[in-house]
Amino acid sequence: MASPPSRSSVPRKEASRDWRGVGAFGLIAQRRGWDYEDLDISEVAVQFAQALGLRARVIQDRVPDIPESSVDLIVMWEVIEHIWNVSEYLTTIRVALRPNGMLLLSTPNYFRSCYQTTDEWGTSGPPVHLQFFTPESLKATLSLAGFRTVHLHRRRVWRPSRLSFGEVIRSARMAAGLEAPPTLYAFATVPSLRER
């Protein structure tokens, strides 16, 4: 079995995590040698990230100011559903990524029946969630924004956090394909210069 490359032999990568998080991803990225910056609309989240030793800044606008072709990876956990102009936003993200750069994102799966029948906390619609994605609509949205190699991952089964009857039933329904998973994860890349 080959040993992993030493840290000094791994090319330095640059990553940016767009708002909505507390820095756990950034800590892992930094430990693996990435040049990482955390962007958030919340001053509290930025202060927390800075207290963890991360480079972080508040973005005032909902479209981040990231220089063209300056990062290898952008991570957006639970962000895209809060954006008014998704097309403009994703275009800005794509332009900020280097050729073959990667976008990782997650968003609620609106195909899940609970989003269509109930809203227990009043957060599934505006003003909290402005966009709603199914697997097909998310893939199409990313493709229209110029991303390629769009891969969606849907978590099928998870371990119940407690042995409640409802969670066991929901896990069984998801395993049987009768209920959609709660979250979509997308991996998309920017075409290389040759492919453009």
Average pLDDT over residues 12-25: 56
Task: Name the residue among 48, 35, 79 with its Cα closest to residue 185.
Answer: 79
Q: How far apart are CA 59 and CA 40, in angstroms?
A: 6
Does the pTM of the predicted model rise above 0.85? no
Torsion angles phi and psi, residue 140, rounded to 5 = -65, -40
CATH number of 84-196: 3.40.50.150
Q: How confident is the model at residue 5 (pLDDT cuts 50, 70, 90)?
A: very low
**pLDDT for position 29:** 85
Instruction: Say how far residue 31 (Cα) sits from the centre of its chain.
Output: 20
> What's the Rg (C-alpha) of the chain?
18
Q: What is the pLDDT of residues 78-133, one digit of tens each?
A: 888 888 889 999 999 999 999 999 999 988 887 655 555 555 555 565 566 678 88
Coil, helix or strand for 97?
A: strand
In the chain, which ranges are continuous DSSP H helix?
24-31, 43-51, 86-96, 113-117, 135-144, 165-175
Structural domain boundaries of the chain?
Answer: 84-196
DSSP structure class, residue 4: P
Token representation of residue 57: 């800044």
- What pLDDT was estimated at residue 177? 56
Q: With beta carbons less than 8 A apart as the criterion, state whether 74 and 91 touch.
A: no
Q: Kindly report, residue by residue over 53-86, the tens digit of the pLDDT.
A: 999 888 876 667 788 999 999 988 888 888 888 9
pLDDT tens digits, 43-52: 888 898 899 8
pLDDT for residue 176 is more than 60 = no
Res 164 pLDDT > 70:
no
Whose CA is closest to 18, among 53, 50, 58? 58
Residue with tokens 């769009």: 150
Closest CA to 16 of 32, 33, 31, 35: 35
